[in-house]
Structure 1
């Protein structure tokens, strides 16, 4: 089925005087190309960015690549970051960036476990004798798990992104990206792991957020709007349309990926409602709300990551570019549910 561009949105931009003169834009991701970046690759591959007057270069991240400093330094125009913790830190530290859209309604951070060990219940995970959690997780969302759900530091061991220790111990639990590690576990361990999304248990952050510099939002709002709109449509078309060209682009950028892995990841994104759930069902992909940002910050204050009032939440995100129901007509035409 062909992908569909929302020409009503395009006409709106044209009516507003937006010249489609192919503005050059560089967008950096936070890891190597994968299905979780699919909507952005889709918008390049199917010409959506081009139709919105944008010549977009995608700059992938990786284990030895940190693209975050490039945005405030003016070397890139937009940045994909993991979740709102990064954005809270930026505001706290006076870094002049702001979130302009949230492509994932749910953070894919998850805890995974072996089946048949009693861990089908989320509450039982805190009884596991071994929890393999990377250092950055230990100092962020693990603190929330301790305060909110009663997890204990005594069981912690570092997760070094090697599945061996987890596969060898059926009583172990470990962190995982819900649309990636479960696929690797099934491939290597030959079993389907139990997967518990933190988002389904109160970890209310948005994820795969798009950040821009505050001066870009102020001085070039039409450019930001076009990039956000095209990215939203890219995600709708990636999930519900023909994504073969986008997958091919990602495999070219990241040859470690396979078509089968990408498609398995897309299936998990749909099943788990990573992109298209919650506020996105009412206001379109990319949707955000002030109330949810406030809720997540309050949780992080309770977890001890921040002090009350330490972060000016009015500077974390702007809602001016989202919540316009963009792409919902496209989704309907493509048969999305």
Structure 2
């Protein structure tokens, strides 16, 4: 009887330990702001190589797109996390009393660029003011172009509508077009056979963070461990996507966006590294995803000057540094 009791106790300990070791993964939903692409690679990498699982998470990536509104779904509790764009969205949420908060910034630089034809007198950023055909989306005109007007003297009458088709730009050698450093230059080169001039707005003072991770304030307050695990695992995903084999991540991206090509995925990764989109500035010492109060203040003041926000807005409610600047993933960088 004593032996049987001992065996029963031993089995209980073993089974109990196994139960602890095999706790069910926490289900998490993460909405992106556009169709799957290389600029989302770190999140797909963390999903593909099991990093999320190592952090106890079962992550479902919900792609955005022209008919999706993942930001709204996150803010009303249908998604746990959201991949934001620039800080303008975060500041706007404070202005509108939407209880969301930026918890990490996986892009130190927004990939937003302006493109021009080479050899047409539009070969410097200052030269772009000569163009009377600056092709911009409504969002571009309402955001970064307002900053360009104040900082550099661009005019409203120079702006022309951009329909996300490069044909008008290609046909007009005096035109300037908005785009992303990680995609549009390649599209234009493939379609027209020339490499456009590329001007990264971040390198001319447009100091926003981009590809932010946002969540609801209640999650930050009630479940900070969940937020920390998601931020850390995503950060590791970005190191691995940029610096190691990312073929499985790219396969998942192409699964979610069948129109994506291997060539564009490779181009996007190369340009993210070339321009320091992900890993530059504070991220070099504090880790990918880094943010600082000084940088937030700088960009907010620029947006106030550009007329996007009132100076008395408490922009500090838009973000928290609680989950970043911990050096997570620095050991993964290849020398």
Q: Compute the TM-score of the two structures, normalised by the length of structure 1.
A: 0.92
Residue 329 of structure 1 corresponds to 331
1:179 and 1:269 in contact (8 A); partners too: yes
Question: Pairwise mapping of residues 230-249 of structure 1 onto structure 2 (< 5 A)?
Answer: 230-249=233-252
Report whether the alignment pairs 1:214 with 2:217.
yes
Report whether the alignment pairs 1:195 with 2:208.
no
Match among 118, 128, 136 for residue 115 of structure 1: 118
Structure 1: stretches of 5+ with no match in the other structure: 1-16
Output the CA distance in 2 between the equivalents of 1:20 and 1:293: 39
Structure 2: stretches of 5+ with no match in the other structure: 1-19
Q: How many residues align?
A: 316
Output the CA distance in 1 between the equivalents of 2:159 and 2:311: 28
Deviates further, 200-209 or 60-69: 60-69
Output the CA distance in 1 between the equivalents of 2:265 and 2:93: 32
Moved over 3 A (4+): 17-21
Instruction: Give the secondary-structure state (helix, strand or coil) at the position aligned to 1:137.
Output: helix
Instruction: Give the secondary-structure state (helix, strand or coil) at the position aligned to 1:292.
Output: helix
Deviation track 1:277-326 (CA, whole Å, cap 9, x = no partner) reads: 0110110000000111011000000001111112x122111101000111
Instruction: Give, in angstroms, the shift of residue 177 of structure 1.
Output: 1.1
1:20 and 1:51 in contact (8 A); partners too: no
Deviation track 1:130-168 (CA, whole Å, cap 9, x = no partner) reads: 100011111111110000011111121100001110000
Residue 107 of structure 2 corresponds to 104
Report whether the alignment pairs 1:134 with 2:172.
no
Instruction: Give the secondary-structure state (helix, strand or coil) at the position aligned to 1:82.
Output: coil
Instruction: Give the secondary-structure state (helix, strand or coil) at the position aligned to 1:49.
Output: helix
Residue 315 of structure 2 corresponds to 313
Report whether the alignment pairs 1:256 with 2:242.
no
Distance verdict in 2 for CA 1:41–1:179, change over 3 Å: same
Question: Pairwise mapping of residues 1-337 of structure 1 onto structure 2 (< 5 A)?
Answer: 21-310=24-313, 312-331=314-333, 335-336=334-335
Instruction: Give the secondary-structure state (helix, strand or coil) at the position aligned to 1:71.
Output: helix
Output the CA distance in 1 between the equivalents of 2:209 and 2:316: 16
Output the CA distance in 1 between the equivalents of 2:89 and 2:75: 13
Structure of greater Rg: 2
1:183 and 1:265 in contact (8 A); partners too: no
Output the CA distance in 1 between the equivalents of 2:89 and 2:316: 15
Instruction: Give, in angstroms, the shift of residue 115 of structure 1.
Output: 1.1
Output the CA distance in 1 between the equivalents of 2:23 and 2:44: 20
Output the CA distance in 2 between the equivalents of 1:242 and 1:75: 33
Instruction: Give, in angstroms, the shift of residue 18 of structure 1.
Output: 11
Distance verdict in 2 for CA 1:206–1:223, change over 3 Å: same
Q: CA RMSD in A?
A: 1.3
Output the CA distance in 1 between the equivalents of 2:88 and 2:195: 30
Distance verdict in 2 for CA 1:159–1:84, change over 3 Å: same
1:20 and 1:54 in contact (8 A); partners too: no
Distance verdict in 2 for CA 1:293–1:75, change over 3 Å: same
Instruction: Give the secondary-structure state (helix, strand or coil) at the position aligned to 1:252.
Output: helix
